[in-house]
Amino acid sequence: MPKSSVADVSSLFHEKSFQIALVGAILFLFVAHPVLFDLVDRMFAFVGINLGETLLTVVHSVVFATALYYSIMVILKLEA
């Protein structure tokens, strides 16, 4: 790979917007995985709470938003 391509890729990985998008994609992949949905649903059912599909999705959305918020705070502080 030419040096300019390596420099371009390196520059891309240091851009905050790219880092935030990458972290968001990884978090979404983890939080929205069907296995995790099933696990959380079974955990709530174990304590006697039946969430249903919509409320389960809302719970995962809140978890995703919280994790993304704190991840962004870390990314912005690391390169400040």
Instruction: Provide the 10 A C-beta neighbour count for residue 59.
Output: 16
- Band (79; pLDDT cuts 50, 70, 90): low
Placement of tokens 């390596």 in the chain: 6
Which pLDDT score, from 0 to 100, does residue 46 have? 95
Question: What is the C-alpha to C-alpha distance for residues 16 and 18, in angstroms, rounded to an integer?
Answer: 5
Q: Chain-wide mean pLDDT for the chain?
A: 88
56 pLDDT exceeds 70? yes
Which pLDDT score, from 0 to 100, does residue 58 have? 95
Please tell me the total count of domains within the chain.
1
DSSP 8-class letter at 32:
T
35 neighbors 45 (Cβ within 8 angstroms): no
Residue range 6-43, pLDDT digits in tens: 777 777 667 888 889 999 999 999 999 999 999 999 99
Structural domain span for residue 34: 3-78
